[in-house]
């Protein structure tokens, strides 16, 4: 992987090695993809203030994330169906995150179950929760996360209904995926390495659902259940119920408005994530970086603010930190690495971002994460 220089290189290899329906699932957004593009475009507009002749010989990229030491201000975000990008993908990604000294977040809609991941890693990981209509199942899911010693619960609140993703419809990326369309059969047949990895994996179903619901042994039955379970009645009162079950740290992900940030603070969460679901939900919403400063200004002294949306480089991490985020989540960036090379690809993605952040800090004349603020930005 010596010739891999950036996240875009990993993306190119991911696109070649993984069937189109699964690559597009990660790579694309909802509707016209305006918000997806805005996440990247608005980050690129933020420019740095170059400083010279500053002693930057002892740079330290470590920080704390919800009170725990981390080697980088970086978190691997929850991504559904990660195990369909590479066999046992959640386990490989979690191991890479832990080796790098940063948190990993397992999605409710993962292929490997909570128990599969916990049995194959040595450290606690975070668990991301979607609240379904079946509150008994949700309660059991939280209890399973407790039993697995998950160290934080990430409650995603911007998926009460699902934004249409045109590319998924065109590719037959449904639940279950329409693998037996002729074009998909031809595409998959041209990816023997991917096929071998998936066939040898622990699971090809949604691990947190299959085996824990009656009749959920096959993808078809899981599909019917999932389709009926996203709950448009979910509201802030449900946070109290979750709090009554979950004893640990709570992070609310999907905040894009100052009024909602105020409610997250009131709910007693340890952290919130400024996020528009990677441009996969409300198309036409502002970019995450556009709304970050106002949320930090009003509530950064009361709650830990994390950032998610468009991070593809260490420079992007620096931009978000300069505008007040305490740490950043990456989703697509590490999935590109996973699809390209498995676990080593995830490690490579993390390493790319780490090295870019370190270099950017040096050229801006700062030695620690704590020093990064608006002063590193050009006026």
**Does 203 show up as a binding residue in the annotation?**
no
**Does 169 show up as a binding residue in the annotation?**
no
**Does 128 show up as a binding residue in the annotation?**
yes
**Does 334 show up as a binding residue in the annotation?**
no
CA dihedral sign of residues 265, 269, 271, 276:
negative
Active-site amino acid positions: 277
Tokens linked to 353: 């971002």
**Does 195 show up as a binding residue in the annotation?**
no
**Does 275 show up as a binding residue in the annotation?**
yes
**Does 277 show up as a binding residue in the annotation?**
yes
**Does 312 show up as a binding residue in the annotation?**
yes
Rounded Cα–Cα distance for residues 157 and 177 (Å): 25
**Does 63 show up as a binding residue in the annotation?**
no
The b/e string for 97-114 (b: 16+ C-beta within 10 A; e otherwise) is bbebbbbbbbbbbbbbbb
Rounded Cα–Cα distance for residues 255 and 267 (Å): 13
**Does 309 show up as a binding residue in the annotation?**
yes
**Does 51 show up as a binding residue in the annotation?**
no
Tokens linked to 311: 């991070």
**Does 308 show up as a binding residue in the annotation?**
yes
**Phi, psi dihedral angles at 224 (to 5 degrees):** -65, -40
Q: Which of 51, 39, 41 is nearest to 378 (CA)?
A: 51
The b/e string for 188-216 (b: 16+ C-beta within 10 A; e otherwise) is beebeebeebbeebbbebbbbbbebbeeb
**Does 351 show up as a binding residue in the annotation?**
no
My answer on whether omega of the bond before 187 falls inside 30° of 0, hence cis, is no
**Does 345 show up as a binding residue in the annotation?**
no
**Does 156 show up as a binding residue in the annotation?**
yes
**Does 218 show up as a binding residue in the annotation?**
no
Binding residues: 25, 78-80, 107, 128, 130, 156, 165, 253, 275, 277, 280, 308-312, 331-332
Binding residues for glyoxylate: 25, 165, 277, 280
Binding residues for FMN: 78-80, 107, 128, 130, 156, 253, 275, 308-312, 331-332
């Amino acid at each position: 992987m010596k010739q891999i220089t950036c996240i875009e290189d990993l993306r190119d290899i991911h696109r070649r090695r993984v069937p189109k329906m699964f690559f597009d699932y990660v790579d694309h957004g909802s509707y016209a993809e305006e918000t997806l593009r805005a996440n990247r475009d608005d980050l690129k507009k933020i420019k740095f203030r170059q400083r010279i002749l500053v002693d930057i010989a002892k740079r330290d990229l470590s920080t704390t994330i919800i009170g725990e030491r981390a080697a980088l201000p970086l978190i691997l975000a929850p991504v559904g169906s990660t195990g369909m990008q590479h066999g046992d993908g959640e386990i490989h990604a979690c191991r890479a995150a832990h080796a790098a000294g940063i948190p990993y977040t397992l999605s409710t809609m993962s292929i490997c179950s909570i128990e599969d991941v916990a049995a194959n890693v040595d450290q606690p990981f975070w668990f991301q929760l979607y609240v379904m209509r079946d509150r008994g199942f949700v309660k059991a899911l939280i209890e399973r996360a407790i039993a697995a010693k998950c160290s934080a619960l990430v409650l995603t609140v911007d998926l009460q209904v699902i934004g249409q993703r045109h590319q998924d419809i065109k590719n037959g990326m449904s639940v279950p995926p329409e693998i037996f369309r002729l074009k998909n059969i031809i595409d998959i047949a041209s990816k023997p390495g991917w096929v071998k990895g998936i066939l040898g994996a622990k699971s090809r179903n949604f691990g947190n659902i299959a085996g824990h619901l009656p009749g959920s042994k096959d993808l078809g039955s899981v599909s019917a259940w999932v389709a009926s379970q996203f709950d448009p009645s979910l509201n802030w009162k449900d946070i109290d119920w979750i709090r009554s079950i979950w004893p640990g740290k709570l992070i609310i992900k999907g905040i894009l408005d100052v009024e909602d940030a105020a409610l997250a603070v009131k709910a007693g969460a340890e952290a919130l994530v400024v996020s528009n679901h990677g441009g996969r939900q409300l198309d036409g919403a502002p970019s995450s970086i556009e709304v970050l400063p106002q949320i930090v200004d009003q509530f950064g002294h009361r709650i830990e603010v994390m950032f998610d949306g468009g991070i593809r480089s260490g420079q992007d991490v620096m931009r978000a930190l300069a505008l007040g985020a305490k740490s950043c989540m990456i989703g697509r960036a590490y999935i590109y690495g996973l699809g390209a090379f498995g676990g080593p690809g995830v490690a490579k993605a993390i390493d790319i971002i780490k090295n870019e952040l370190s270099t950017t800090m040096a050229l801006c004349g700062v030695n620690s994460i704590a020093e990064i603020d608006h002063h590193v930005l050009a006026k």
